[in-house]
A = this chain, B = another copy of it.
């Protein structure tokens, strides 16, 4: 994979209504709805607590220590997008700060997900521009080598194809492929619908052992109780 020096201008974004509705369901519910796949590695952490976004992925592939393509991807952002940045090797440098965030926000980006470092996090927090990153670092970058924009990339262990849906919150970042976004939304919404009733029962002291009828299968597996 990994074509270098190319910018794809026309990508097929997931329907905005589907993308928007996935966010509030949360990364954990969506990840379960996909069959427990789609999750980026948990080393990606939000720069501040409480952000919860979803949007359509525009992707950028960068080389270690070089953020030139960040300026190229900015032009490809449309309102409702989340920028997903992958690096061709491990790097913790600060590829992104308040100036780029101002530009991304002006173009309508909702967030950045980056498999590297970010800086100016206090200003980004004040701007309410959320970033999920591997590191926070003042280390600046150069502008010397071409990467690509809107090619499929691997970010924090997960393949992201431009136009996929990104769901990010305090629990992590999930990627839902465009082709399965509607199906995933339906499954996740169904999961969510059940949760209120379950929560009420558990709050009332009902045990999961009984609510999920686990006692029999546990006994069959050989669980024994000792007084």
- A interface residue numbers (CB < 8 A to B): 1-2, 4-10, 26-28, 30-32, 34-39, 41-42, 45, 48-50, 52, 63-66, 68, 70-72, 74-75, 88-94, 97-100, 102-103, 105-107, 117, 119-122, 125, 135-140, 142-146, 152, 154, 157-159, 161, 169-172, 174-175, 177, 195, 198-199, 202-205, 207-209, 212, 214, 218, 221-227
Most buried by B among A138, A161, A195: A138
How many identical subunits does the complex contain? 6
Specify the chain B residue showing the minimal Cβ separation from A141.
B36
Q: Shortest beta-carbon distance, A79 to chain B, in Å?
A: 12
Identify A226's interface contact among B8, B145, B171, B222, CB under 8 A: B8
| B contact residues around A152 at 8 Å (CB) | 159
How many Å lie between the Cα of A30 and that of B138 in the bound state? Answer: 9
Q: Which residues of B contact A70 (CB under 8 A)?
A: 208
Please tell me if the beta carbons of A171 and B121 are within 8 angstroms of each other in the complex.
yes
Query: Are B36 and A171 closer than 8 Å at their CB atoms?
Result: no
> Which chain B residues lie closer than 8 Å to A8 at the CB level?
226
